[in-house]
Amino acid sequence: MPHHVNGDSPRDGGYTSPAYPLAEHAADSLTAANGRPLAEVTLDAAAQGALSADDIRISAATLRAQAAIARQAGYSAVAHNLERAAELTAVPNAELLRMYEQLRPGRASEAELVALADRLEDEFHAPITAAFVREATAVYRRRNLLRRD
């Protein structure tokens, strides 16, 4: 382990999670988004056409585990990001792309962004992402990035 020289932030020296990388230390307990164990995601299964897209997609639980690892190492912004990602696994891809489009500058009115935040919270149980969109709404208003009708 490198020495912790500067000491003012944990990321200078790095606390290492004993579980990381998960692919090495937690391979037996890792499952894909649909619950299939990692050990079953094999070339044979793929060649036989026994796998689908959800078999190679990350689960919310694993994203939260990665968020905890990032937070422990001092990367709180990365941790937040991964926690939002965990929430967003509940949102279908096409839906997610529509949300993404709405958040581009000048695409949505304030009411539409508020509605998006509410929907994230109520329908997809994504409170962190909902708060993030509400924060964005305030910033968009201040910086004139809302849609002008």
Partner 1 sequence: MPRRDNLFGGGNFDAEDFDDYNILQRDMQVDGGLRPVTEEAVLAIRREAAQAIQAVYAELGFPPITDAEVEAATTGHSSDDMPERDLVADLAAADAFLAGDQDMLTVIQALQRRGFTKTATNILEMGRQRIAGDYLQPSAIFDRDFRVQSAINDPNDYTGPGTGYRVTGARWEEIQRVPQAKSPREFIADQIGEPSKRLVEVGPAKTGTRPEVIVAVGPAFGRELTKTIGGLDHEAVLAAILTGVAREGLVARIVKVKHTSDCAAIGHIGASLSGSGIAIGLQSRGTAVIHKQGLARLNNLELFPQSPSLTLETYEAIGRNAARYALGKPPRPVGVKIDNWARLKLIVKTTLLHRRETEQIRDEPPTELFFDWEPEV
Q: What is the number of other CB atoms lying within 10 angstroms of the CB of residue 146?
A: 19
* Site for partner 1, residues 89 to 148, rule: CB under 8 A: none
Q: By rule CB under 8 A, what count of residues binds partner 1?
A: 45
Minimum CB–partner distance for residue 43 and partner 1 (Å): 6
Determine which residue in the list 9, 28, 35, 47 makes contact with partner 1, applying CB under 8 A.
47
Minimum CB–partner distance for residue 104 and partner 1 (Å): 19
* Residue 37 or 106 with smaller CB distance to partner 1: 37
DSSP structure string for 40-92: G--HHHHHTT---GGGGS--HHHHHHHHHHHHHTT-HHHHHHHHHHHHHTTS-
* Site for partner 1, residues 48 to 67, rule: CB under 8 A: 49, 51-53, 55-59, 62-63, 66
Q: Is there a contact between 134 and 120 (Cβ–Cβ < 8 Å)?
A: no
Stretch binding partner 1 (CB under 8 A), from 1-9, 103-111, 118-126, 138-146: 1-9
Distance, in Å, from the CA atom of 147 to the CA atom of 149, rounded to the nearest integer, reads 6
